[in-house]
Amino acid sequence: MAFRSTILKMHPATLVLLSFLAAIAAGAVLLMLPVATTHGAITWVDAFFTATSAICVTGLTVLDTGSRFSLFGQCILLLLIQVGGLGVMTISVALFNWIGRGISIRQRLAMQELFSAAPRKDIFSLVKSIILFTLWSELIGAIILTACWAREFGFVKSFYFGVFHSVAAFCNAGFALFPDSLISYSDNLAINLVIALLIVIGGIGFPVLYDLQCWTKSRNRIRCRLSIQTKTVLWTTLILIAGGALMYAFLEREALAASPSWNHRILVPLFQSITCRTAGFNTVDISSLREATLAVMIFLMFFGASPGSCGGGVKTTTLALLIAFTISRVRHGRRVNLFKKSIPGDTMARAISLILVSISIVCLVLFMLLMGDPVTGREPGGVAHSFIGFFFETISAFGTVGLSMGVTPELNTWGKGWIILMMIIGRVGVLTFSYIIVGTGKAEGVEYAEENMMVG
């Protein structure tokens, strides 16, 4: 009774964080079992790192997934990825509904923290739609991938590979059973398009998918219009994918021109533009890319996916609001407008605060990684233990992307701990995490007379 009373008194943001931490701890314990690995148990640090990466749907790994973990261990990872992608609270609400029990106001508020655009009264309908759509999308993806790998691996193994990579792609996790991720299939049209499509669908956000579902089922689409969030997410996602692909193609034009395959020249820029925002699969060696290309990828990873999705980062809507705010101020506008709707001032304040807090957290973790690096020098032209390598790793963890320049396996315990923290913050959300630390009470303080000051 005391435990239940404590849970009921928790803030929804705290409940969300604790649910993820509990899932991480359970996953780490299971991964430490000797049966979960191919030869000998792994250390507790590596177990927690891998479990965190799976629950936070990141994809950063300190151990090779395909060779170091047994079938049992890979199934545990797959379960953690699915739970992390859907969200622990989403699965909890679905289970309560399945056994015929109602959910508390606390759980409803926790769901609101995860899916702020969802109507609170329709929470069961939203959760049901989320789970059904997820399972159907993953099943269709798995069937197509199975057909793609059937000749190479046989039906049973290809079906397993198809299910694993389909779930990882939809949940934007980036875990692959191949040692080189998907580099060997960089010119395979079917595999690239299926994985990319699953990544996009899983990254635009469940509220957007729910809104699109309601819109398509509506008999009168004129009255049932898409929300401003749905429009913003769709347009921002499209622009980022197209812009990222064009920038990659331009910056890596010499490397792409050297490839004899037109599929490779077209698919690699498109795939990397999609995956570096949320997923973590790669069809090229990241460490071989130009620093200008890495800078573009860092930008895409920082903003990441959309709210209420499987991905992390600052989110696409925040980027759209920041651009709209800048344009409004340049034009001396009084309000920020999008799609003939005015954005509330509180929403703009949260967006700007989110950007500033995120940058501060990234800088702090980057400094801690550099401070804890025991290597004082590096090989000329190498990326390990370089500033750009650690910076790329930090942003990848924050955006729950999973791309790496090869730094992850070389991290010491100090570095792994900070990356674990960054992955948790990136998945739970910076604002949700800040709510837990500073609280959400009413702002208090003395208000004095205003006085202007110079800026810039």
Lowest mean pLDDT among 70-84, 275-289, 375-389: 375-389
Output the pLDDT for position 380. 44
230-284 confidence digits (pLDDT tens): 999 999 999 999 999 999 999 999 999 888 788 889 999 999 999 988 888 999 9
Q: What is the pLDDT of residues 305-320, one digit of tens each?
A: 888 787 888 889 999 9
Angle at 276 between CA 275 and CA 280, to 5 degrees: 65
pLDDT score recorded for residue 7: 55
Q: Best-predicted range by mean pLDDT among 100-109, 371-380, 387-396? A: 387-396
CA dist., res. 424 & res. 422, Å (int): 5
Q: Is the dihedral angle over the CA atoms 24, 38, 64, 90 positive or is it negative?
A: negative
What is the CA angle 255-256-262, rounded to 5? 155
Asked if 345 and 244 touch (Cβ cutoff 8 Å), the reply is: no
CB 55 within 8 A of CB 171: no
Per-residue pLDDT for 440 more than 70?
A: no
Q: Please state whether the predicted TM-score (pTM) of the whole model is above 0.85.
A: yes
Residue 381's pLDDT is 45
d(CA 119, CA 47): 38
Question: Which of 96-105, 132-141, 159-168, 437-446 bottoms out in mean pLDDT, i.e. has the lowest?
Answer: 96-105
Residue 252's pLDDT is 93
Q: Indicate the pLDDT class of residue 101, thresholds 50, 70 and 90.
A: very low
C-beta separation of 3 from 56 below 8 A: no
Residue 26's CB: how many other CB atoms inside 10 A?
A: 15
4 has pLDDT over 80? no
Torsion sign over Cα 34, 37, 39, 40: negative
The pLDDT value given to residue 261: 84
Closest CA to 324 of 340, 308, 309: 340
- Given a cut of 60, whether residue 387 has pLDDT beyond it is yes
| Weakest-pLDDT range from 112-121, 308-317, 406-415 | 112-121
Higher pLDDT, 132 or 455: 132
Tell me which residue of 400, 439, 399, 442 sits closest to 12, measured CA to CA: 439
Q: Which range has highest mean pLDDT (283-292, 333-342, 425-434)?
A: 283-292
Residue 375 has pLDDT above 90, yes or no: no
Residue 100: predicted pLDDT: 45
Residue 9 has pLDDT above 90, yes or no: no
186 pLDDT more than 70: yes
Which residues is 341 bridged to in the sheet? 338
Query: How sure is the predictor about 339, in pLDDT bands with cuts at 50, 70 and 90?
Result: confident
pLDDT band at 441 (very low <50, low <70, confident <90, very high): low
- State pLDDT tens for residues 195-215: 999 999 988 887 888 788 878
Which has more pLDDT, 214 or 9?
214
pLDDT over threshold 50, residue 96: no
Q: What is the pLDDT of residue 431?
A: 63
pLDDT for the residue numbered 104: 52
- Comparing 43-47, 54-58, 311-315, the range with the smallest average pLDDT is 311-315
pLDDT at 376: 46
CA angle at 382 for the pair 380 and 383, rounded to the nearest 5°: 140
User: What's residue 409's pLDDT?
Assistant: 84
- Choose the most confident range, by mean pLDDT, from 105-119, 145-159, 195-209: 145-159
Handedness of CA 4, 8, 48, 96 (dihedral sign): positive
With contact defined as beta carbons under 8 Å apart, do 231 and 341 qualify? no
338 has which bridge partners? Answer: 341
- Of 142-146, 215-219, 359-363, give the lowest mean pLDDT range: 215-219
For residue 341, the model assigns a pLDDT of 87
Q: Is the pLDDT of residue 149 over 70?
A: yes
pLDDT attached to residue 395: 94
Structure tokens at 195: 């994985």
